């Protein structure tokens, strides 16, 4: 075997597994991930320069388990699928060790325990190549630009939202609202007297405030209700009055 460190990069994407193997015993994982156990197997077969149709199952299983152990020591979270494959490999390995029934004529018909795995590897390899083709296509496509949108009734942002877009926004608002409610639990409850005092002091200090501003400051439904009652109370006791400059205009709270 070669003595100098060999560098093996495996795949077309930048998300590559990159392994420096200085010797058989010492495989160093530098970075990256395999997209799955079949990927790892293909890589190991290539590394061992083995024939995919005649996988040296004992050797590959050892290498595979070594890699799995390495992933564990490096604390790479491992998908259960990697372990399933490890079990499959061990099963095949043990089947290979069993003495084959030599029945003479039927010898060739005995199925190779590796056959299913070989088929899966070949199938996987095909789709890996297809993925590579897609990668090349999308890379070329990213060099092509189309004209930006022209404003029309259809793509007008005011009308272009689908029901699902609306739902997404609604959900966002709901979750934000939930957070607010959670905050409210931690806070002390405010009494009507406190709210009255708070609003009155504000109005007296600044002369007039827009109602929207006051309601906007309220953090919860309860506070909103309190503020509403407080304002009504203030108007009733005539320490403030409500003004509306035009129909449907903002309502202003004004010091008397």
Partner 1 sequence: MEIEEKQQRGIGETISIIEALIFVADEPLTVKTLAEVLDEDKETVQAAVEELARDYDGRESGLQIREIAGGWQLATRTEFHEEVRRFLKTRPSAKLSLAALETLAVIAYKQPATVPEILEIRGVQSASAIKTLLDKRLIVAKGRKETVGRPMQYGTSKDFLIQFGLKDLSELPSIEDFEDLAGGV
We find the least distance from the C-beta atom of residue 196 to partner 1, in angstroms, to be 50
CA dist 94 and 52 (Å) reads 19
Among 124, 198, 202, 255, binds partner 1 (CB under 8 A): 124
Identify which of residues 90 and 190 has a Cβ nearer to partner 1 in the complex: 90
Which phi-psi region, left, alpha or beta, contains residue 248 (left: φ > 0; alpha: ψ -120 to 50)? left
Among 90, 131, 218, 251, binds partner 1 (CB under 8 A): 131
DSSP code, position 190: P
Among 9, 127, 237, 243, binds partner 1 (CB under 8 A): 127
Give 117's contacts (C-beta < 8 A, 6+ positions apart). 41, 55, 88, 89, 92
We find the least distance from the C-beta atom of residue 163 to partner 1, in angstroms, to be 16
Per CB under 8 A, the segment of 31-39, 202-210, 211-219, 229-237 that binds partner 1 is 31-39
Task: List strands edge to edge, sheet with 208-210.
Answer: 208-210, 251-255, 240-244
Identify which of residues 143 and 205 has a Cβ nearer to partner 1 in the complex: 143
Per CB under 8 A, the segment of 8-16, 65-73, 165-173, 191-199 that binds partner 1 is 8-16
**171: three-class secondary structure by DSSP:** helix
Which phi-psi region, left, alpha or beta, contains residue 68 (left: φ > 0; alpha: ψ -120 to 50)? alpha
> Pattern of binders to partner 1 over 133-172, x per CB under 8 A?
xxx-xxxxxxxxxxx-xx----x-----------------
Residue 252, beta-bridge partner list = 210, 243
We find the least distance from the C-beta atom of residue 43 to partner 1, in angstroms, to be 10
Of the chain, the end-to-end C-alpha distance in Å amounts to 97
Residues near partner 1 (CB under 8 A) are 11, 13-15, 35-39, 42, 45-46, 51-52, 79-81, 85, 120, 122-135, 137-147, 149-150, 155
């Amino acid at each position: 075997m070669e003595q100098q460190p060999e560098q093996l990069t495996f795949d077309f994407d930048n998300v590559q597994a990159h392994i420096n193997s200085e010797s058989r015993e010492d495989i160093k994982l530098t970075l990256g991930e395999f997209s799955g156990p079949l990927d790892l197997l293909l890589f190991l077969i290539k590394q061992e320069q083995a024939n995919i149709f005649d996988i040296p199952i004992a050797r590959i299983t050892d290498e595979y388990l070594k890699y799995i152990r390495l992933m564990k020591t490096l604390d790479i979270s491992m998908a259960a699928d990697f372990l399933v494959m490890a079990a499959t490999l061990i099963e095949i390995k043990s089947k290979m060790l069993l003495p084959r029934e030599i029945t003479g004529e039927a010898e060739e018909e005995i199925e190779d325990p590796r056959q299913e795995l070989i088929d899966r590897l070949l199938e996987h390899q095909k789709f890996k190549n297809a993925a590579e083709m897609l990668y090349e296509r999308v890379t070329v496509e990213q060099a092509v630009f189309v004209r930006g949108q022209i404003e029309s009734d259809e793509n007008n942002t005011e009308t272009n939202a689908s029901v699902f877009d609306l739902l997404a926004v609604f959900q966002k608002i709901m979750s934000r609202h939930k957070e607010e409610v959670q905050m409210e639990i931690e806070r002390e409850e405010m009494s009507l007297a406190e709210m009255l005092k708070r609003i009155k002091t504000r109005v007296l200090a600044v002369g007039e405030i827009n109602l929207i501003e006051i309601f906007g400051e309220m953090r919860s439904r309860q506070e909103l209700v309190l503020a509403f009652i407080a304002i009504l109370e203030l108007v009733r006791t005539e320490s403030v009055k409500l003004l509306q400059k035009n129909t449907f205009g903002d309502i202003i709270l004004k010091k008397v």
